[in-house]
Amino acid sequence: MEEHDRTEGKEDGVRQDGRAPKKSSIIRELIIYALLLIICVRIVPAYIIQRTIVDGPSMEDTLLNGESLLVEKISWHFGWIDRFDIIVFYPYGREVEEEYYVKRVIGLPGETVQIIGSEIYIDGELLEEDYGKDPITNPGRAAEPITLGEDEYFVLGDNRTVSLDSRYDKVGNVKQENIGGKAIFRIWPLDRFGGLD
């Protein structure tokens, strides 16, 4: 009978010691849950990690049109962007955030980039890389040496015959302040789920 009474008490919102929970503890829990919800919905996508979608064929065969990626948004603040990282950036500045590009970093701050024939040279040295789907046929502005500023990157799409990238004045050198983040993981489609090269 005593066991039955304790069970009934729990169902009526009475603690095991016979007292009702304090309203202040319920309010405190609600505030904690509300803060967690705000962090997950607003802070994480704005400052830590967010999902983005590839638009167009410029990164084929590495990334395909319509694929969903996770982009981490911390590295660029500290200049932790390495050669061959795939970044998301705003070619026309952050005030036009609905227009973003996804490209691969080729040249780093302070380096000189030049394309001779279909070969890429960094500071006069041939860059060994095999990310291009096809050989470069148009060096664009990189036919002449381009020296990057201390906050600038030179980017190319992997599908170099169709990519609008740093070879063209419309995009040019990418300023660090216009980088939205580094693509780190493909989450869709499921048959291509996984990390990025």
Nearest to 177 by CA among 158, 150, 147: 150
d(Cα 184, Cα 128) in Å, to the nearest integer? 22
Question: Is 58 a catalytic site residue?
Answer: yes
Looking at residue 85, what DSSP letter applies?
-
Question: Is 75 a catalytic site residue?
Answer: no
Marked catalytic residue, from 23, 24, 103, 133? 103
Q: Is 89 exposed, middle or buried (0-12, 13-18, 19+ CB in 10 A)?
A: buried
Marked catalytic residue, from 10, 24, 58, 133? 58
What's the maximum distance between 2 C-alpha atoms anywhere in the chain? 91
Q: What is the DSSP string of 1-49?
A: -HHHHHHHHHHTT--TTSPPPPHHHHHHHHHHHHHHHHIIIIIIIIIIE
Map residue 162 onto helix, strand or coil. Answer: coil
Are 64 and 188 in contact, with CB atoms under 8 Å apart?
A: no
Positions annotated as catalytic residues are 58, 103
